[in-house]
Structure 1
Amino acid sequence: MPEPSVVLARLMTTIEDRKREMPEHSYTTKLFRGGVPKIGSKVAEEAAEVIEAAGEPGEDGRQHTIREAADVLYHLFVLLAHREIRLEEVEAELARREGISGLDEKAARQQTSDS
């Protein structure tokens, strides 16, 4: 099985290709045509479903959570591609936050937005 980062990068590339080509019979194309309202509602829907699945017991709940997490990532990647945000930019932001307390990082963001 390929490394997770390879699979995620390949998925993002496929989504970016769909945006460029806009093939007629493509779910991804349908999402792009719906813009942020359509894509955003799918991200929210899938996020709620992954939370619900995470509360299910046992291996069935675990597997359901994995499937729903994949759906969240796919729809989030569509949203990123719609906004022309590359996966590398998100990775760079995560790398920037490495070693920083989540509470400190959140406080710094709030100070910046208050300025």
Structure 2
Amino acid sequence: MNNSAKSGSGLDSALAHLADVVDQRREAFKAGQIDPKTSYTALLFSKGDDGILKKIGEEATEAVMAAKDSRQSQLAAEQQKRLVGEMADLWFHCLIALSQFGLRPEDVIAELDRRLGTSGIEEKAARKATGQE
């Protein structure tokens, strides 16, 4: 399932494109141009911060369960496909949250870039020292 050809700017552009669509739907919802009864994205935005964040929690739980199942199953390829699908759902809902809070996937990628080459333990300690954790 690993496709190393889709890395770097390809990944960035795919996320940016999807984020553009999400942002357009958010704006159309706010302008009353799309109905939550006919658009899942509009439905999510209609639920506000709490509804969007609750959905991320649900999707994260489903991704965790799919990951655990992929290790315990004799049907590994099928379970890996399910895990990829659950991760896609989680990433999509995270894009909804980013849009809701006026952020973009590029902001997350910039933060990941900033952390490259930094020990995770050191980075976590630095956040704790500055009260960011």
- Is 2:24 the partner of 1:8? no
2:66 is matched with 53
Matches within 5 A, 1:73-112: 73-112=91-130
How far has the Cα of 1:54 moved from its partner? Answer: 0.9
Write the deviation string for residues 15-48 of structure 1: whole angstroms up to 9, x where unpaired: 0100111111211111111111111111000100
Q: Which amino acid aligns with 2:59?
A: E
Unaligned runs of 5+ in 2: none
Identity across the alignment (%) = 35
**Runs of 4+ displaced beyond 6 Å:** none
Name the count of aligned residue pairs: 114
Structure with bigger helix share is 1
**TM-score of the pair, normalised by structure 2:** 0.80
- Is 2:24 the partner of 1:26? no
Paired with 1:74 and 1:110, the residues of 2 have a C-alpha distance of 29
- Is 2:81 the partner of 1:68? no
